[in-house]
Amino acid sequence: LLFSGFTHKLKTFVQEIVTQLVDYCEPKTDRFECIREKISQNITNFSLKPTHHQACTYLTNITLHHSWIIDDFIQALKDSSFLYQRYISGQPASAIYYYLQCGEQSTLNNTLLHLFYQIVRGPIFDKLHTEQQLGEELLLSMERSYVVQAGLRRSNKLQGFRILVQSSYHPNKIDKCIEEFLLTVNKLLEDMSDEEFNVHVRSLMTHLLEKPKGMQDRFGRLWSEIACGHYNFKRNVHAVSVLKSLRKNNIINFFKEYIDPSSCTRRKLVVQIISSEEHLCDSGFSNHSKKVVVLKNHTELKRYYPLSSLTKPFMMFTSKYEGISLRF
């Protein structure tokens, strides 16, 4: 933000603006969409501006490192979906790893994601395994296997919701089934009674407060905190504290931001392992996202798209050797 002017009241004005920003409440969905549409129109109408203005903008983009062209802004307004496919031989089944990035890790964000999974894990299995009967052909053969898994994926600073399916169907068909299911989740959450919500909360609390079953379990919990650099050794206790304050509306807002196929802020990555024995027709990647970026190389995403910052530890440690000069 830039403030300028010739008035002794400028300091008071800036203080008032900052106060309003701190106290600002999150806008409602319709208001957010209105603001987003206004910004989108302003960016997409850039080509209608005088050509000398456009020339100045592009020269700035060429000469400055942290500068973006209009096409970058337009792309940033949309949701993003990335697809990586790999064809293999000698395997009778195909697989899809469906991953939705759900923001950076924090006690609140972690708890919301865990509670969301607690609520939808049953319906997910019913949809992909029972109702769809995916992989029915594989179940008839002892040499083949059918897998349906869902859960959380946490790595370094980020986390997400994942679904892994192995079946005889083409991964694109599974992708569509997953998208169709997620389109029904909003109604599932809206129709859920307060009592049903509280049952899920209590169930998750019970799970989090379970004591380690043995020395190996306890070691695993402690070492995972050290390995990831978080050092949040009371993670479950903090999560339970947050759970007590959550309401159904918190989960609905979380779903609409990170999971809902119609969300403009959703981030999706899909890995498809396609069997060379695949004989079913390719039904096409789901088209809920306006644009799918097909990754030709598995390092392409890391090379051309920004990665998250380093993990911030939950607690800071000071080495006893800090400040000591060593000689060899």
Is residue 51 assigned to a domain?
no
Rounded Cα gap, residues 55 and 57, in angstroms: 5
Number of structural domains (the chain) is 1
List, for residues 62-119, the tens digit of each pLDDT value: 556 666 666 666 666 566 787 888 787 777 788 889 999 998 888 999 999 999 999 9
**Which pTM does this prediction carry?**
0.69
Residue 274 φ then ψ, to 5°: -105, 125
Residue 255 sits in a domain of what CATH number? Answer: 3.30.830.10
Q: Which domain does 231 fall in, by range?
A: 80-298
List, for residues 195-245, the tens digit of each pLDDT value: 999 999 999 999 999 998 888 888 888 888 888 788 888 989 999 999 999
Is residue 14 assigned to a domain?
no
Query: Does the structure show a pLDDT above 70 at 143?
Result: no
Is residue 280 assigned to a domain?
yes
SS3 124: helix
User: Predicted confidence band at 58 (pLDDT cuts at 50, 70, 90)?
Assistant: low
E strand residue ranges, the chain: 80-88, 94-104, 147-155, 158-167, 267-275, 292-295
Instruction: Classify strands 80-88 and 267-275 as parallel, antiparallel or unpaired.
Output: parallel
